[in-house]
Amino acid sequence: MPAHIIKTGAEALETASALAQAFAVDATLRDQTRFLPIALLDLFSQSGLWAITVPKEYGGADVSHTVLTEVFATLAEADPSLAQIPQNHFNDIDTIKWVGDEWQKRYFFTEALIGKRFGNAFCELKNVSTSTFETSLTSRDGQLLLNGRKFYATGALMADWVQVCALNEDGLNVLVFVKQGTPGLQVIDDWSGFGQRTTASGTVILDNVVVEECNVIKTYKATSMSTTNSCLSQIIHASIDLGIARACIKETIAFVKGSSRPWADAKVERASDDPLTIYQIGDLEYKLHAAEALLQRGARSVDRAAAEPSEESVAAASIAVAEAKIATTEHALLAANKLFELAGAKSTLGKFALDRHWRNARTHTLHDPVRWKYHAIGNYYLNKIRPAKLGWL
């Protein structure tokens, strides 16, 4: 059955809010047992949310980045693993917007609209850096063959299409769409991270996979363009981190009010009346709202740059998103730590399973080092040096 088609940003937000309620049910159990939520993922893609950035001329809602960030934050508050799975799917849609040909736009946008999922096969474990690849797309006997090995392949296990970053015979970056079940494509469920446990971010092996030319996206064309594609992954990451922070603070307040004991020196009967706990909750809430504001500021900057792309507008958007990513990273980690500090020793008991929040925050915020974002921001404002067009800034 084709997926529902969402028409407006308001409908996308309403759908995300309703789905979040379903995601929250048994989220703890899924984390503890590493149960992959196939049924929920089907519900997710059938809801129409996976196609909300498809351009209107191709049948989508083309929602703003401000809407997209709130959709991800809402879902991540309920279950950040489920929220992370479609991140690269949205990056694929955006990539095709910028550099896809007309056939690719019509075909893959339609695939997204009917509920097909695009999975990720980008990173390689053994290379010197995350920006270098050994995976190759070569021509042999009139066929295009894809060979390589990928890791951190979020969503690939449960995808209809696996998008593979590779180098063509000219050494240029391309994005290759491979249909699930294609001979030579192997997706292995070997993700063992202690957080984000149900993203299935494992291994993809490509052994002489035959590829159709029409399924090769020439991403190298973007190097000579001003696009906001490099901002998209980062702002979605920031949204997920914000959702984790929201969940941590909600859990903290509930535990302090319902289960924690006050410290003796406070001379109060309830932990929620402890003046230093009240102070810390106030600090967490204000920093959460600051992170939310920076995220929305970043999203508005990306919206402006996408509407009128230029070297300067894209650079400004990248910096705004970097600032938001710093705020959401640092606050997710702070909120996860404060959860246990303020809730007390009892909160570490296994029956509460609150450790999942810290594990998710620590794992997800490792996608890229925020220390380099400070450097890029400082260089931009101090020396007027625009940041490089990198997907991890």
Q: What is the CATH number of the domain that holds 234?
A: 1.20.140.10
- 379 and 236, same structural domain? yes
Integer CA distances (angstroms), 355 to 84, 182, 196, 223, in order: 19, 39, 12, 42
> 206 forms bridges with which residues in the sheet?
148, 185
- Whether 177 and 269 map to the same domain: the answer is no
Task: Write out the two tokens for 321.
Answer: 């998103």
Contacts of 224 (CB under 8 A, 6+ apart): none
Domain that holds residue 335: 226-383
- Over residues 284-306, the pLDDT tens digits come to 999 999 999 999 999 999 999 99
Whole-number pLDDT of residue 223 = 87
3-state helix, strand, coil in the chain (%, to 5): 60, 15, 30
Say yes or no: 239 and 210 in one domain: no
- Cα(190)–Cα(248) distance, rounded to whole angstroms? 28
pLDDT-derived band at 64 (thresholds 50, 70, 90) equals: very high
**Residue 153 φ/ψ, nearest 5 degrees:** -85, 70
pLDDT of residue 126: 79
User: Which CATH number do you get for residue 76?
Assistant: 1.10.540.10
Question: Same structural domain for residues 232 and 214?
Answer: no
% of residues, the chain, pLDDT over 90 = 95
Based on its alpha-carbon atoms, the radius of gyration of the chain, rounded to whole angstroms, reads: 22
144-174 pLDDT, tens digit per residue, is 999 999 999 999 999 999 999 999 999 999 9
162: in domain: yes
Are residues 312 and 167 part of one domain? Answer: no
Residue 154 backbone dihedrals phi, psi, to 5 degrees: -60, 125
CA–CA dist 325, 84 (Å, integer): 15
Residue 47 lies in a domain: yes
- Is position 215 within any domain? yes
**What pLDDT digit, counting tens, does each position of 68-108 carry?**
999 999 999 999 999 999 999 999 999 999 999 999 999 99
Mean pLDDT of 341-357: 97
Nearest to 6 by CA among 58, 72, 51: 51
**Together in a domain, 151 and 232:** no
What is the per-residue pLDDT for 132? 74
- 30 with 104, same domain? yes
The arithmetic mean of pLDDT across residues 371-391, rounded, is: 93
d(CA 45, CA 3): 7
Q: Which of 219, 254, 284 is the last residue of a domain?
A: 219
Q: What is the count of structural domains for the chain?
A: 3
Q: Could you tell me if 10 and 40 are in contact, meaning their C-beta atoms sit under 8 angstroms apart?
A: no
Q: Are 89 and 131 spatial neighbours (Cβ–Cβ below 8 Å)?
A: no
End-of-domain residue from the set 192, 219, 246: 219
What is the pLDDT, as a whole number, of residue 131? 64
Q: What is the CATH number of the domain that holds 209?
A: 2.40.110.10
Please check whether residues 233 and 343 belong to one and the same domain: yes
Same domain, 251 and 334: yes
What is the pLDDT, as a whole number, of residue 393? Answer: 72
Query: For 4-42, how does the pLDDT look when each residue is reduced to its tens digit (9 = 90+)?
Result: 999 999 999 999 999 999 999 999 999 999 999 999 999
- The answer to whether residue 263 sits within a structural domain is yes
- Residue 133, φ and ψ in degrees, nearest 5: -130, 150
Q: Is residue 390 part of a domain?
A: no
In the prediction, which pLDDT does 392 show? 67
Residue 280, pLDDT score:
98
Q: What distances in angstroms separate CA 266 from CA 84, 121, 261, 271, one per listed residue?
A: 41, 53, 11, 9
CA atoms within 13 A on the CB side of 242: 27
At 197-251, the pLDDT tens digits run 999 999 999 999 999 999 999 999 998 899 999 899 999 999 999 999 999 999 9
Residue 203 lies in a domain: yes
Residue 265 lies in a domain: yes
| Pair (231, 214) in one structural domain | no
In a 3-state reduction of DSSP, which class is residue 365?
helix
Give yes or no for residue 349 having a pLDDT over 70.
Answer: yes
The answer to whether the CB of 204 falls within 8 A of the CB of 164 is: yes
Whole-number Å distance between alpha carbons of 375 and 387: 10
User: What is residue 120's three-state secondary structure?
Assistant: strand
Q: Do 37 and 50 reside in the same domain of the chain?
A: yes
| Judgement on whether residues 337 and 207 belong to the same structural domain of the protein | no
Give DSSP secondary structure letters for 222-280.
GGGS--SHHHHHHHHHHHHHHHHHHHHHHHHHHHHHHTPPPPGGG--SSGGG-HHHHHH
Q: Using 50, 70 and 90 to split pLDDT, how confident is the model at 362? A: very high
Residue ending a domain, among 160, 189, 219, is: 219
393 occurs within a structural domain: no
pTM of the model as a whole? 0.96
Name the residue type at position 286: Y
